[in-house]
């Protein structure tokens, strides 16, 4: 499974890269707005840190403007994945850009049929939002299971399932058990995976026992 960081925090991105936990980065207009930074320069910086796909989202909703934005974003770096909404216009953009070899991440997916449309449009990634479905009383992970089943039924589809709106490590565990290709989440959620009370307890015991020996490895 690949880990994408859902953030524009350069320090957090570098930290995950240093740990070998960074396979890509996803951003969206809300994340960029919270950063308070200029969009284009920020995306360029991220692509220089991250070797994997960096999702940069278009800001318009009509086909013509989205195409222009997508083409501009594509020119920023070779590892840009243009992010488009799962609308009719967005899928048209996806079809056009993917036909030219551009990676496209189709976002705001909430149903398996939407995911089917994205795959037919040539999406590199489909981003089903599990957390937002959980928020309205639906089972977000059921969507992942259904999308994976559909894609497995049709080997000609090459769209990767990118689990989005991940709120906690349990979402990551369930995604891995189902065989999802990618999860994207805030760096803080990935870091929660390091933690276990028995690890902390065991390490504390090792440190105390080593101190008793009076030795040093260095």
Q: Which of 2, 83, 201, 212 is catalytic?
A: 83
Query: Which single residue is written with the structure tokens 């496209």?
Result: 104
Report which DSSP code applies to 195. Answer: -
DSSP string covering 60-111, please?
A: --SHHHHHHHHHHHHTT-TTEEEEEESSHHHHHHHHHHHHTT-EEEEEEE-S
Question: Is residue 120 among the annotated active site residues?
Answer: no
Residue 17: CA atoms inside 13 Å, Cβ hemisphere, count?
15
The CB density around residue 198, as the number of other CB atoms within 10 Å, is: 7
190: nearest Cα among 213, 177, 162, 171: 171
HEC string of 101-153 equals CCEEEEEEECCHHHHHHHHHCCCCEEEEEHHHHHHCCCCHHHHHHHHHHHHHH
Residue 174: CA atoms inside 13 Å, Cβ hemisphere, count?
17
Could you tell me whether strands 103-109 and 2-6 are parallel, antiparallel, or unpaired per DSSP bridges?
Answer: unpaired
Q: Which residues are catalytic?
A: 83
């Amino acid at each position: 499974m690949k880990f994408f960081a859902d953030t524009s925090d350069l320090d957090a991105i570098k930290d995950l890269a240093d740990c070998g936990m960074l396979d890509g980065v996803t951003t969206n207009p809300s994340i960029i707005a919270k950063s308070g930074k200029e969009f284009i320069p920020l995306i360029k910086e991220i692509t220089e840190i991250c070797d994997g796909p960096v999702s940069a989202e278009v800001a318009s909703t009509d086909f013509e403007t989205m195409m222009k934005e997508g083409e501009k974003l594509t020119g920023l770096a070779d590892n840009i994945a243009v992010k488009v909404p799962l609308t009719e216009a967005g899928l048209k953009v996806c079809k056009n850009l993917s036909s030219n070899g551009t990676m496209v991440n189709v976002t705001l997916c909430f149903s398996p049929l939407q995911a089917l449309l994205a795959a037919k449009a040539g999406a590199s990634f489909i981003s089903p939002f599990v957390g937002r479905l959980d928020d309205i009383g639906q089972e977000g992970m059921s969507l992942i299971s259904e999308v994976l089943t559909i894609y497995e039924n049709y080997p000609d589809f090459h769209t990767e399932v990118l689990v989005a709106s991940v709120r906690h490590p349990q979402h990551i565990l369930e995604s891995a058990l189902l065989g999802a290709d990618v999860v994207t989440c805030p760096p803080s959620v990935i870091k929660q995976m390091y933690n276990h009370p028995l690890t902390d307890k065991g390490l504390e015991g090792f440190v105390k026992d080593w101190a008793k020996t009076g030795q040093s490895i260095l």
